[in-house]
Amino acid sequence: MNIPRSAACLLLWFLTILTSGAVAQPTAQDSSQDQRILAEVKRRFAAEHAFDGMSISPSVRRGIVTLSGTVNSQAAKVLASKEIEDVDGIKSVMNNLNVAGGTASASPSGAAAGEVEDKKVILPFGTVLPVHLSKEISSKTAKANDVFYGTIASDVNANGYLLVPSGTPVQGTVKEARSGGLLTGAASLTIDVDQMTLNFPEGPHQVRFATEPLSGRSQAGGATGSVAEALGIKGTEVVARPDQVLRFRMLQPAFVSVKLKGGRQVPPVPVEQTSDTSANGSPESPRPR
């Protein structure tokens, strides 16, 4: 007996569903993991002021995050993926965000009346941040994951705006530190800067980003590495000194809020930080100058 082609196709489809249906259903463990991931993703987007006024709707299935909604620039779309890519448990991010063009600005009537506008401007990938360290970092005493502090050494401009004024507080992390010696070999030191505190209209705000790590290694005759010019040698140790300028290159864009009045930028002022750390070793709360 001949089976019609359409019936054969239907039978094949039914057998496929039977054999794969159990696999396609997420387990209770998957659902619990997805809920945890979704909560953390939502928390990060809510905490990041760069996405204020934008519509981002995340969903999670089996560790795969899908982003839907609308942002105001291609850089914001890229930043959305980077903001969550290191969340524990995420397998991949499907970024389906739509770009609706242009950054937020106040209405023409407000500008005409001389009111201050708030505008978000992109601090682009590749921007170099010149940093003065607050204290010396030595491969002898530093440890991986130690936090250090500093300030921006000179104004940083981009897209026609002054985005990061000189004196802006920054924070970084020691990625690797190894003391030198006869048994341990050459000393090495690797550091990066990962956040700064800027004045936003609603108050001081920590802007997070990634920079290319700077590293140095001691050997006979001095230090070598990507920051050799900013390092000193004390005996066998590598030292990053506060009297030198370290230049960190940004590996991802960041949004910075600027103020405009009558179409001109209101000069920004750096956040004042009275000292590097408080008595318990944690950063003191910055305040606007």
CATH number, position 46:
3.30.1340
- Domain boundary at 44, 79, 99, which? 99
What's the domain count of the chain?
A: 2
Q: What is the 3-state secondary structure (H, E, C) of the chain?
A: CCCCHHHHHHHHHHHHHHHHHHHHCCCHHHHHHHHHHHHHHHHHHHHCHHHCCCEEEEEEECCEEEEEEEECCHHHHHHHHHHHCCCCCCCEEEECCEECCCCCCCCHHHHHCCCEEEEEEEECCCCEEEEEECCCEECCCCCCCCEEEEEECCCEEECCEEEECCCCEEEEEEEEEECCECCCECCEEEEEEEEEEEEECCEEEEEECCECCEEEEEECCEEEECCHHHEEEECCEEEECCCCEEEEEECCCEEEEEEEECCEECCCCCEECCCCCCCCCCCCCCEEC
Note whether 56 and 144 are same-domain residues: no
The domain that holds 239 is classified in CATH as 2.40.128
Q: Find the domain containing 112 and state its range.
A: 108-273
Note whether 70 and 157 are same-domain residues: no
pTM above 0.85, yes or no: no
Per-residue pLDDT of the chain (289 residues; tens, 9 = 90+): 555 565 555 556 555 555 444 444 556 677 889 999 999 999 988 888 778 778 899 999 988 899 988 887 777 788 888 888 889 999 888 888 888 744 434 344 444 556 778 888 888 889 999 999 999 999 999 999 999 999 999 999 988 889 999 999 999 999 999 887 766 678 889 999 999 998 776 678 888 899 999 888 776 444 444 444 455 556 678 888 888 899 999 998 888 888 888 888 888 888 775 444 333 334 444 444 4
Q: Is residue 153 part of a domain?
A: yes
Q: Is residue 20 part of a domain?
A: no
